[in-house]
Structure 1
């Protein structure tokens, strides 16, 4: 029997449904070209489609695709689910080891250009952030001011884009509802980011931006996020021509993480980032070397959040087989 699945947000479930829809379209193409026989069982069909696409997607994307197929199996089980699971998660053996070696070689050949998230920079020096925000202002785009404030607020406080919707300033602190709390990847439901050491103008900008985002409804937030994201993407490509990787809203969070790692302890960084594990920032975010020699981060973690990180770390140590989630 499969273990209970971790709680997933509605956004995660929607994301999985989009992946499954892509796999179903790919399965249809395989049938139309004669590369796959007609298969009535939906879960086996999408699992075969995944295996066909596997050499053309990165290892990180493949993990998401497998999670989407597992989600489909859990929520719409079929009579051949053992076959589907065997396709996406084969038992370790010599043949599977050889297949994985061949898969790695195929990816080297197929993934010769950067795609999707690979095109996003993990670090941008503060001087280049200033160039980008100046270019945004010069664009006179309706979303230019929102894009500037979103970038600067994230450089100050490090929030994920979606977390601004329920963030609010209380005194000289920013209280944030952690986006990944529902599936155990955050140290607690909320985190408190101390802004007392920030200059008055930075605190005012964070408070103003958080208040603006919080008053948007779902449709308004989607329009704002899409408009800001697209404007940053286009402006970055004209501001920094010839680069393979360009900054995005999430790059600002990476830059925050690098400065946090150069300023605070690993437990403090996890508390500021909303991570349950002290390993996540070091493994998945920009390296602290980028920020060394620059201005230390003004934002400070709360003692309560650091204590929550330590409790999560100690709990993980009691479970030897448990891996830290990204």
Structure 2
């Protein structure tokens, strides 16, 4: 039996283990898809080689246990879906190199990189609330130029959210009736919102903005049942990846939610706290003040083009008592 055949020979695996490997491979496939969407690794024709390089480049940013899971899943994937022998040999050199002095030194460096990276900012700490006009333009342009199937949709999602202040997930069920955008409040449970729905008057938006919003609503209306979460995740991931690729000098990066933060800053600059809460789907007038960008970050000199309904403002006013109509 040759060396490659020995490395790829099939060990005994339980059905549960094989199922776990398939889940891990789906995650790795998602990482690869995000790289391909921004033009990375396209010069390589072999899928297994693309996957192996994706894993290899992830290694400094994942824990040792996660690294072992990826490696085991990749080995099983190669057994089930082999490439040409020469390609598989290259892949195996990435997965299972000989433990010479240089490889031991590499493992030591990898451990140090991993330790450093896992101590750095992660998750919400990397998400930008403020995005400058220049960076916003760069991001939207890069998304529209992306080869991803959801590139232009991501740009539309951001633009629509910035114009209206919706939570990004609220587009799933939003609908427009004339100049009124009817939104199901995403945080209507446990009294965190002022009611199950809110109405946003969008008649002040220019025709182009309305067409952009309508195009997003059309996509949502045509989605099969249960498909929104997958689409949302794809768009969210693409915004993150394109942001990192196109805004290399930043230490924090735009997300879908950044558009809502920019809207909040513009609303807080010119509206009362009760109007802001009604527009953004908050019950408490303190929510926007505590959790969103300050009005000094507002961009542009024009007036806000959307308005809350009198009904929603009355509901917020009753919930907050006394005199909540002060400016931020």
Could you list the per-position Cα deviations for residues 133-166 of structure 1 after superposition, in whole angstroms to 9, with x for gaps in the alignment? 1011122211101101100110111111221111
SS in 1 for 2:171: helix
TM-aligned CA deviation for residue 191 of structure 1: 0.7
* Equivalent residue runs for 1:8-27 within 5 Å: none
- Could you tell me whether the CA contact under 8 Å between 1:172 and 1:203 is conserved in 2? no
1:228 equivalent to 2:235? Answer: yes
SS in 2 for 1:296: coil
- Which residue of 1 is the match for residue 219 of structure 2? 212
- Could you tell me whether the CA contact under 8 Å between 2:133 and 2:299 is conserved in 1? no
When normalised by structure 2's length, the TM-score is 0.60
- Which residue of 2 is the match for residue 126 of structure 1? 133
SS in 2 for 1:192: strand
- Which residue of 2 is the match for residue 288 of structure 1? 295
TM-aligned CA deviation for residue 294 of structure 1: 3.2
TM-aligned CA deviation for residue 128 of structure 1: 2.2
* Equivalent residue runs for 1:151-300 within 5 Å: 151-291=158-298, 294-300=301-307
Which is greater in Rg? 2
How many pairs were matched up?
A: 208
SS in 1 for 2:124: helix
- Structure 1 residue runs of 4 or more that deviate by more than 6 Å after TM superposition: none
TM-aligned CA deviation for residue 223 of structure 1: 2.2
The CA distance in 2 between the partners of 1:197 and 1:293, in whole Å, is: 16
The CA distance in 2 between the partners of 1:303 and 1:111, in whole Å, is: 48
- Which residue of 2 is the match for residue 50 of structure 1? none
The CA distance in 1 between the partners of 2:147 and 2:157, in whole Å, is: 16
Could you list the per-position Cα deviations for residues 24-59 of structure 1 after superposition, in whole angstroms to 9, with x for gaps in the alignment? xxxxxxxxxxxxxxxxxxxxxxxxxxxxxxxxxxxx
- Could you tell me whether the CA contact under 8 Å between 1:193 and 1:300 is conserved in 2? yes
When normalised by structure 1's length, the TM-score is 0.60
The CA distance in 2 between the partners of 1:296 and 1:152, in whole Å, is: 17
Could you list the per-position Cα deviations for residues 81-123 of structure 1 after superposition, in whole angstroms to 9, with x for gaps in the alignment? xxxxxxxxxxxxxxxxxxxxxxxxxxxxx99632211110011
Could you list the per-position Cα deviations for residues 232-252 of structure 1 after superposition, in whole angstroms to 9, with x for gaps in the alignment? 111101111132210000111
TM-aligned CA deviation for residue 292 of structure 1: 5.8
CA RMSD of aligned residues (A): 2.2
- Could you tell me whether the CA contact under 8 Å between 1:164 and 1:214 is conserved in 2? no
* Equivalent residue runs for 1:302-313 within 5 Å: 302-313=309-320
SS in 2 for 1:174: strand
The CA distance in 1 between the partners of 2:176 and 2:122, in whole Å, is: 37
SS in 2 for 1:312: helix
The CA distance in 2 between the partners of 1:256 and 1:124, in whole Å, is: 11
**Unaligned ranges ≥5, structure 1:** 1-109, 318-326
The CA distance in 2 between the partners of 1:206 and 1:192, in whole Å, is: 15
**Unaligned ranges ≥5, structure 2:** 1-116
The CA distance in 1 between the partners of 2:232 and 2:205, in whole Å, is: 26
- Which residue of 2 is the match for residue 59 of structure 1? none
C-alpha change, 1:292 and 1:157, in structure 2 (3 Å) is closer
- Which residue of 2 is the match for residue 35 of structure 1? none
